[in-house]
A and B are shown apart, each in its own frame.
Chain A
Amino acid sequence: GEDVEQSLFLSVREGDSSVINCTYTDSSSTYLYWYKQEPGAGLQLLTYIFSNMDMKQDQRLTVLLNKKDKHLSLRIADTQTGDSAIYFCAECEGGSYIPTFGRGTSLIVHP
């Protein structure tokens, strides 16, 4: 079955860039997602990328996809304290509309 792995914690200084990494096993993944969970809130879709793309940029967010290595990353430029949250990587395998999630990476932004 499909599997999604990500590191549990990332600590960055305010103003620096954050890079959250994710690896997945399913080569038939069609869509890959990044969700954000702020304290006391539900998972919120941040961005997604289709598997035929290498990169997607949306304001401070850059998603990079390396299909050969099955590696997905989320870069947050100029990280702010408000970016502190848990970031979940997720993927949908071909034919499924139900995302498979990782454990989530806790991003801690300190002054």
Chain B
Amino acid sequence: EPEVTQTPSHQVTQMGQEVILRCVPISNHLYFYWYRQILGQKVEFLVSFYNNEISEKSEIFDDQFSVERPDGSNFTLKIRSTKLEDSAMYFCASSQKESVRNTIYFGEGSWLTVV
């Protein structure tokens, strides 16, 4: 079964450093998402991306965050200057269509620890 893959699975970074989390969505999917889950808290929506632009974003997704689809297969989340509170599991997801009935497929997550 096709799957969404994420790298790295775990990254430790120093506060203030830039981090790039990478994702390879399912190949025929057109909609891409990033979610995050801080330990013990809810899975929170960050951003959705379609046709090479952001289609929707949450309040969490401020100027420190950016997304990019650099080469037609990867989908990246960049955090410019990490803060301690950015420590979380970051999930990438993709879907074929923009529809509530359409299945969103999630990756295994990238665990980011900011020290």
Residues of A within 8 A of B (CB): 4, 30-31, 35, 40-45, 48, 88, 90, 92, 96-104
Contact = CB atoms under 8 A, between A and B. Distances in A.
Interface in B45-92: 45, 48, 56, 91
Main secondary structure of the interface of A (DSSP, over half): strand
Please indicate which of the listed interface residues A4, A30, A35, A43 has the most CB atoms of chain B within 10 Å of its own CB: A43
B33 A43 contact: no
Given A30-B100, A97-B100, A99-B104, A42 B45 contact: no
B41 A103 contact: yes
Contacts, number: 51
B101 A88 contact: no
A45 B4 CA distance: 14
Contacts of B11: none
Interface residues of B, number: 26
A28 B47 CA distance: 22
A42 B48 CA distance: 17
With a 10 A CB-CB cut-off, give which of A35, A42, A101 has the most chain B CB atoms.
A42
Nearest to B101: A31
Nearest to B103: A45
Given A102-B42, A103-B40, A42 B107 contact: yes
